[in-house]
Chain A
Amino acid sequence: MAGADCRTECLIRMSSTYDFAIFGGNAFASLVAGLLAHDHNKQVLLIADPVSPQRLPRGLDLALLFATRPQSWKMLQRGVAETRALMASLEAHDALDTVPVRIAADLPQTKAALAHVAASAHGYGQASKDGLFSGVARLMAPVALGESRVVTIGRDAATLEFTRTGAAELVISGEPTAVGQIVVADDTELLELVPPDQRPAQIVAQSMTGTLTAPAKKLPAPVMLFPDRGVSLQQRADLSILALVSGDSDVEGRLASTLPGPFPLQRLATTHFRRVTTTDGAPLIGRIKPSKLMVLTGLGDAAAFFAPLMARVLADAPGDGEKAWAAACDPSRPAREAIADLVWGAA
């Protein structure tokens, strides 16, 4: 769905009031926008540039959470079922596959935490043994809104301005545009749009390095996660490996320590970007002051599978337990210890 890419027709529609304006070029933002428009009959403006397939992915879009809290797994597994049904209804079965994922823990604390993750996951049907999670759902390609009720405009066309009170106001092609709620559903956009002094204290901007290697020896599993080394690997059909490394320190050393060789191993592409993690390891969902921007972040690689839930929460039509779960993730809650989860990343 490349969205109703906006030119004349959309500029006419631009004069109408949107229920939601969503910043984000990732699968999560696209799915939330599409579901709000189609399942909840909302007027939605998606502000994003199309993502070229040649660009290195910034995440794995994997239905696997580094989370020990049962509530998170319950919501995720519900989201996986809904996403699978959604793709089936769109005749896009190929958009999802399942893949075994091995989480390789090095440190005793991490092994213990991983055991808690596995137990919670097991409780909701996600099988695993000795760190190998089987049948993990994965989005195969970027989600693009084809024929859709969502109006899509390029990122350059939209800016945010802040009123004297600090509230954010959407400006499109120089004109203020009325919007019920501005939503930031993409880490890059969050870090760009929200000034550091307005970001919730729980937000951490984490440096990331994405690397595509030449074809390598076969990995023990097509997706390998090394939380103590801050490295995620995904082997492609041609045996090349997409690696995502968090943090700035000794990126090459940590990456190479997880690779199977043969060495020297050629790098075909490298990119640097930032993503958002949270200090307490829990998702962060809610409005932030004073801009009143709604931020959806901290869901890691599994974010896309939370799109149905997020669309319901935004449309004020939450399902069983969802309102409480989202409320617990609100950044303005004075205490979030009850949802604190794993904080892994750069070693």
Chain B
Amino acid sequence: MRLAADAAHQFGGIELDRGKPLSFRLDGRTVSGFAGDTVLSALLAAGTDTAGSFANTPVGLGPRFAPLITTRGGVPLPMDRVPATDGADFTAIGRRRGLQVSRPRSLRHVLDDIADPPWLRAKPEETRTVDLLVVGGGVAGLAAADAAAAAGKTVLLAERRPWLGGDARFFGAVGDDESPELLTTRLARQLGERSNATILVRAEVFALSGEMALLHVVETLGPPNGRVIAVTAKRVLLATGAIQRLPIFPGNRQPTVVTAIDAYHLAKRYGVTRGSTALVATQSNYGYRLALRLHDAGVRIGRIVDTRIHPQSRFVDFAKASGLTLASGQFPLSATNTHFVFAPTSGAGASVGFDADQLIVSGGWQPDLALWMQAGGTVRWTAGRSALLAHGHLDRVALAGSAAGYRSLRGCAESGRAAAATIFGESAETIEDAEAGTHLETPDDPTPIAPAASDVPAFFDSGRSLAARPIPGARVSSAHRVHALTLADVAASVELGLIAPADAGVIAEERGAPGGYLQPSGWAPVAKAEVSDAPPPYLAHRFGDAPQRLHLVVDAKRQFTVGTLVYSNHGERDPEQALGVIVDAAPVGGIALVAEAGAGLDRFIVETADGPSPARIKRD
């Protein structure tokens, strides 16, 4: 549903022009929206919230998990990057269930066999060359790109989302610092005015190796189209942000469950929420901040449930002052449609259930290091942060912002500027990453994990991998499925004890940067020129120091194959006791290498594949 156009905190949708309604068709259904919507945001606003089913469980539609769409004669495109276009007729790509019975809000896709986007295998249509490629248009990326462009470098900044600013607004302003809105607007304006800088939004960098990066951009001038561009960059700065982890409990990808960061952006950018009532489950103070804003924007917050016991935070105080119901020391236990159950973290006491249109959940933050690993970077599990963090350094690739582990707005901006300098061998300012006032506040808890259950999947992450917690008693766990694991999947697996912490980095690198698709190859080995007539090393001293070459035959026809062992006529046929071996083919019989002691014999046994054969020395 849509929030009111004038909802508090701009939760009416800052991307929308409500004066320009539009409609398009998707799979035959008519979807209404506004100029500024993406296909995805319009679908969600219209109540289509289900991508399809996986293991007979409905899976929600969201920015990190949505089928590709196409128009007649067009190319497949991601619906979260395609603008809603009046009159367009889209088709979602993928295998679908033909009969719709129970969920009119579903795209009805069968998700067990989800295909990769075709652009991962496409050849670039264009190559651009720059001094610096910045991946990510959040605060760190903008600051880095602006600093490098100001220093005279040619810069290309690629941002996957349709807008700049990253996730900074979710966290809000800190103390007297410049607000995220002002900071990102200022940086984007500065960068846009620099002639040596290019900004591409709706542009996802999906491959990085050496100096070459590949990006897929959705072009919106005219009918939406997708192109792959190769970027040759002397340096690459990764400001790819962090992914909010999904609390692990059965039903955690029901269409009615949404992560706090997705709920925030949908409301802030597009005025979309998944219903008029919400429960908020959090392990962080920012869950309260979001709940307060949604409450102010008109969403009825049933309660805020926190894993922490009696947390202290200014946001907690504001929530109390606003009359919101708070519960501490509880975690989400299960979700079934619009019924959500919570259990005490202490293990003592009964679980309680509540109904609401949606459950907004919070987990920890996993730096997005997929491209870092593709570039050859390594990662390590860091228990203190409950996350896989970058380890070591690369010569031409640097990290900045939350991808590099920074947490504060100031730290992210400064790390962007610092990385833009150090990556070109210049000195950089000191980075201050203190979060003002946080010493007075209860720190975040790790991502909540509910006990295992046997029926409904509990997914590790909200992305495409669909890795789920092993079902108790199952012989082969779903965690071992053949699919690409995300970093969040690996982090969840570590916390569940499925992956040893010491192995986590290696597994993340294995699964997170597997390389591109393999193409057919006609490679064939080339024989090396023979340099010697001497027996190969593996025959050295095998039949004494002075073996003889003998031509052995049994009759005028039969041939002995190379490798066949030669024994004396009366002795044990144990390979260790062999007198010799056939080393070369001959028109009849074979050429044997025979121990000196055997050269005086005139009768042999050759142990062929068909059984022992008598043999004698052929004398010309």
Interface residues of A, Cβ cutoff 8 Å to B: 49-56, 68-71, 73-74, 106-109, 112-120, 122-124, 129, 154-156, 210-215, 228-229, 236, 238, 240, 250, 252-257, 259, 261, 263-271, 280-281, 337-338, 340-343, 347
Given contacts A52-B498, A263-B520, 6 further A-B contacts (CB under 8 A): A212-B482, A253-B521, A253-B523, A263-B517, A269-B484, A270-B515
| Interface-side segment among B50-58, B265-273, B505-513 | B505-513
Q: Which one, B121, B511, B539, contacts A68 given CB within 8 A?
A: B539
Complex contact B517–A266 (CB within 8 A)? yes
Contacts of B493 in A (CB 8 A): 52, 54
Q: Which one, B116, B540, B575, contacts A340 given CB within 8 A?
A: B540
* Known pairs A49-B500, A49-B502, A271-B506; A257 contacts B536 (CB<8 A): no
Instruction: Write the nearest CB–CB distance from A103 to chain B, whole angstroms.
Output: 13
Complex contact B482–A215 (CB within 8 A)? yes
Contacts of A117 in B (CB 8 A): 563
Complex contact B521–A55 (CB within 8 A)? no
In whole angstroms, how far apart are the Cα atoms of A254 and B513 in the complex?
20
Q: Which 8 A-B pairs have the closest CB atoms?
A: A115-B563, A123-B575, A264-B517, A70-B575, A256-B521, A257-B523, A338-B541, A119-B563
Complex contact B565–A337 (CB within 8 A)? no
Instruction: Write the nearest CB–CB distance from B469 to chain A, whole angstroms.
Output: 13
Contacts of A154 in B (CB 8 A): 502
Complex contact A52–B503 (CB within 8 A)? yes
Q: Does B480 contact A (CB under 8 A)?
A: yes
Instruction: Write the nearest CB–CB distance from A116 to chain B, whole angstroms.
Output: 4
* Known pairs A54-B479, A54-B493, A120-B575; A340 contacts B520 (CB<8 A): no
Complex contact B563–A211 (CB within 8 A)? no
In whole angstroms, how far apart are the Cα atoms of A155 and B502 in the complex?
9
- Kindly report which residue of chain B lies nearest to residue A214, judged by CB atoms: B482
Contacts of A73 in B (CB 8 A): 575
Q: Does B40 contact A (CB under 8 A)?
A: no
* Known pairs A119-B581, A253-B523, A337-B541; A55 contacts B576 (CB<8 A): no
In whole angstroms, how far apart are the Cα atoms of A122 and B616 in the complex?
23
- Kindly report which residue of chain B lies nearest to residue A215, judged by CB atoms: B482
- Kindly report which residue of chain B lies nearest to residue A68, judged by CB atoms: B538
In whole angstroms, how far apart are the Cα atoms of A113 and B517 in the complex?
34
* Known pairs A49-B502, A119-B565, A238-B482; A341 contacts B517 (CB<8 A): no
Complex contact A156–B502 (CB within 8 A)? yes
Q: Which one, A53, A54, A124, contacts B485 given CB within 8 A?
A: A54
Q: Does B562 contact A (CB under 8 A)?
A: yes
Complex contact A271–B575 (CB within 8 A)? no
Complex contact A116–B581 (CB within 8 A)? yes
Contacts of B581 in A (CB 8 A): 116, 119
15 pairs, CB–CB < 8 Å, chain A vs chain B? A52-B498, A55-B507, A74-B575, A112-B583, A115-B564, A119-B581, A122-B607, A123-B565, A238-B482, A256-B520, A263-B517, A265-B517, A265-B518, A266-B116, A347-B525
- Kindly report which residue of chain B lies nearest to residue A335, judged by CB atoms: B541
